[in-house]
Amino acid sequence: MERRRFLVKAGGVLAAAGPTVAIDAPNVIAQPKFQWRMSTTWTPALDVLQGAAQRLGKIIDEMSGGRLKIQVFAGGELMPAFGCFDAASQGTIESFMGAPYYWAGKEPGMQWFSAVPFGLNPQGMMAWYLHGDGLKLWEETYATFNLVPRPGPSTGVQMAGWFRKKINSIADYKGLKMRIPGLGGKIVAAAGGTVVLTPGGEIYTALERGVIDSTEWVGPHDDMKLGLHNAARYYYYPGWHEPGTTAEFGFNKKAYESLPADLKAVVDHACQATQVHTLMEYEYKNTVALQKLKTEFKSKVEILQLSQPTLKELKKLADTVVKEESEKSPQAKKAYASVKKFEATVNDWRLISEAAYHAQIAAA
Amino acid sequence: MERRRFLVKAGGVLAAAGPTVAIDAPNVIAQPKFQWRMSTTWTPALDVLQGAAQRLGKIIDEMSGGRLKIQVFAGGELMPAFGCFDAASQGTIESFMGAPYYWAGKEPGMQWFSAVPFGLNPQGMMAWYLHGDGLKLWEETYATFNLVPRPGPSTGVQMAGWFRKKINSIADYKGLKMRIPGLGGKIVAAAGGTVVLTPGGEIYTALERGVIDSTEWVGPHDDMKLGLHNAARYYYYPGWHEPGTTAEFGFNKKAYESLPADLKAVVDHACQATQVHTLMEYEYKNTVALQKLKTEFKSKVEILQLSQPTLKELKKLADTVVKEESEKSPQAKKAYASVKKFEATVNDWRLISEAAYHAQIAAA
């Protein structure tokens, strides 16, 4: 075959199962092909989060002209939802998608990379990753697990969660069995709650059967995809525990480093494009879902605001608990100090930009 | 030379000035090379905006493995700042960067693609482009100018501007000579002001010499880069006229369409990555600049809030003026109706997410 002869002459490189090397010719390059697998912590019903993984695969495929293909699996398809971090760490798969606070048992410091209660909003978190030390510390923390992290979808300010009983004061958190990960969970525990960490796909059953009394997930769109509006009546805001949540894309270090420079850049910027794409998707889809809750499910769901005294008490607990948590490892200590410093810096600007806009312009 | 021989054998394709064609071989592709020029409306001092154009060029170069290179020029280097739209439209250059409201003289509808007074915040605008009809209408409008638009940097909520005299009420806009583009400018004109549109690089001189009494630009960081804090004392917030401003990357249609599919994807997603990157950069750099204004320039600059009655009057004018403006062309009419509908939809969600977060959590 003509094609085979050509390949042989082009420096003896043949199409093989593994990546092939680039030939130093100005306009003709042998194209290495990479076929990766990504396993996520999500259920297929979560069209925004699982959709973000699929979208990442799609735009990497497009931008690389087919040289890097990522086959994406939902939790449970290839392995259990929470098995993907270890699998990517060990190199069984090349990449995963989840949220850093799911892995807090391995290293408490990871919690800060997802969301900080009473902390930064989406812009703030994203700014901390790139203009503060956020991503640097995250990379440092994940390097010990042979992983390279990249900020993934930004959910925007979340909802405080679904409750089977009303929350009238901080006392109502006492004895509450709640599904809530990360630092938010530590605060609910400090308020007297019992905290569990359940993958998305298993929450509805737990709530519906009364194994838990309450759960937070993301916002109206995702929560309805999980059916949570059919399992609890009271839906509270604002999401004090997750004002600027960021999910993650994680890559096996060896796999990531084996990519040529252009494909590394494709992966990095595809993650960033996906981050903002998802923030927009949430902004829109949460809006549509909220309207549905207010009309179609009007008699079944009450959307309520957490009272100011309740939030004050939660914040008081947060100040203590988050600090205590930061003393559990050197990485946690560094992340805590870094985000705290960054937050203090951006707060002045937030107050006269976004906050003033929402307060003053809405009132005008 | 070995290299030349290789190229000739690979199907007779030789490196040439123009793009070369791809060879149908699985692992070896002849790489078309594109060398583009981009001219912007910015001055080199604007490190975030001009920096975004340079960053776009850099990441496209990286992701394309050098197959698409964009040489970036600031306003005045290759042509006058406001000459870039026409030059890209006519194909003299392949791409430009500016803001759609600069071209309102060509088509009033373009104003809606930049920012809508008392309208959507950054998430909202970005969501309108992709999940509303924003980008579709924008593409439709630019197609008649042989251009393909892509949303560029998002500035975040802006400042209301620099004033040489205090603004105590709406009456103080009467007779005010102000540099302010787009729909915001139409509103200031309706309040009795005289409105001018000056490229960034010329504002300081105009303000310092008293040719204008006032100007808006972006926020603390950019405004200080232009030296505006040395030309006026009163710095007002919030930026009622531009709560969610988005700049633009524009591409000559023929040039864009001549790209192979993978490079089109690289351009599109590079724009999106740049959009969020800039939003973060502003979040951080505005913070640093604001602190500088509050300390180093404390005796020279007063940072003041526009009063609620002033904003109320501006909003009243906005409702009338923006509607009137929308009647000036079919494209304006469509953009107005589309953004208004989208805004009404997302407002409910905004109130219980970002707005509730800023108000309640800040108070906790």
Domain ranges of chain A: 1-29, 34-152+247-284
Residue of B nearest to A15 (CA): B27
Cβ A291–B348 below 8 Å, yes or no? yes
- How far is the alpha carbon of B165 from chain A, nearest alpha carbon, in Å? 20
% of chain A at pLDDT higher than 70? 91
Quick check: B363 contacting A, CB < 8 Å? yes
- How far is the alpha carbon of A355 from chain B, nearest alpha carbon, in Å? 5
Q: Say yes or no to pLDDT of B16 above 60.
A: no
CB contact at 8 A, B216 and B237: no
Closest CA to A241 of B357, B347, B123, B351: B357
Q: Check residue A17 and give its pLDDT.
A: 34
Cβ B29–A33 below 8 Å, yes or no? no
Q: Say yes or no to pLDDT of B24 above 50.
A: no
Contacts of B126 in chain A (CB under 8 A): 276, 279-280, 283
Count each helix (H run) and each strand (E run) in chain A, helices first.
14, 12
% of chain B at pLDDT higher than 90? 84
Contacts of B3 in chain A (CB under 8 A): 25-26
| Span A90-105, pLDDT tens digits | 999 999 999 999 999 9
Lowest mean pLDDT among A13-17, B177-181, B218-222, B290-294: A13-17
HSE-CB of A159 using CA atoms within 13 angstroms: 29
- How far is the alpha carbon of A330 from chain B, nearest alpha carbon, in Å? 26
> Cβ contacts of residue A107 below 8 Å, gap of 6+?
A141, A144, A329, A331, A332
Quick check: B284 contacting A, CB < 8 Å? yes
Q: Check residue B32 and give its pLDDT.
A: 66
Lowest mean pLDDT among A261-270, A338-347, B215-224: A338-347
Cβ B62–A265 below 8 Å, yes or no? yes
% of chain A at pLDDT higher than 90? 84
Quick check: B189 contacting A, CB < 8 Å? no
Mean pLDDT for the stretch of residues A19-26? 40
Residue of B nearest to A346 (CA): B287
> Cβ contacts of residue A122 below 8 Å, gap of 6+?
A154, A155, A156, A157, A244, A246, A279, B123
Question: Would the CA dihedral through A95, A98, A100, A101 be positive or negative?
Answer: negative
Specify the CATH superfamily of domain B34-152+247-284.
Answer: Bacterial extracellular solute-binding protein, family 7 (3.40.190.170)
Q: Per-residue confidence at B300, pLDDT binned at 50, 70, 90?
A: very high
Q: Per-residue confidence at B357, pLDDT binned at 50, 70, 90?
A: confident
Residue B359 DSSP one-character state: I
Q: Per-residue confidence at B316, pLDDT binned at 50, 70, 90?
A: very high
Lowest mean pLDDT among A248-257, B11-20, B37-46, B313-322: B11-20
Question: Cα–Cα distance between B55 and B33 in angstroms, integer?
Answer: 19
Mean pLDDT for the stretch of residues A138-153? 97
- How far is the alpha carbon of B75 from chain A, nearest alpha carbon, in Å? 27
Order of strands, sheet of A68-73, starting from the edge strand that comes earlier in the sequence: A68-73, A34-40, A95-98, A246-252, A147-154
Phi then psi for B204, rounded to 5 degrees? -55, -50
Token pair of A286, please? Answer: 């949460």
Q: Check residue A29 and give its pLDDT.
A: 54
Quick check: B266 contacting A, CB < 8 Å? yes
Q: Per-residue confidence at B359, pLDDT binned at 50, 70, 90?
A: confident
Q: Per-residue confidence at B361, pLDDT binned at 50, 70, 90?
A: confident
| Span A269-323, pLDDT tens digits | 999 999 989 999 999 999 999 999 999 999 999 999 999 999 999 999 999 999 9
Q: Check residue B26 and give its pLDDT.
A: 43
Q: Which of residues 28-67 of A touch B (CB under 8 A)?
A: 28-33, 59, 62-66
- How far is the alpha carbon of A315 from chain B, nearest alpha carbon, in Å? 7
The more confident residue out of A11 and B35 is B35
Q: Say yes or no to pLDDT of B342 above 70.
A: yes
Cβ A357–B121 below 8 Å, yes or no? yes
Unique residue bearing structure tokens 């078309």 = B32
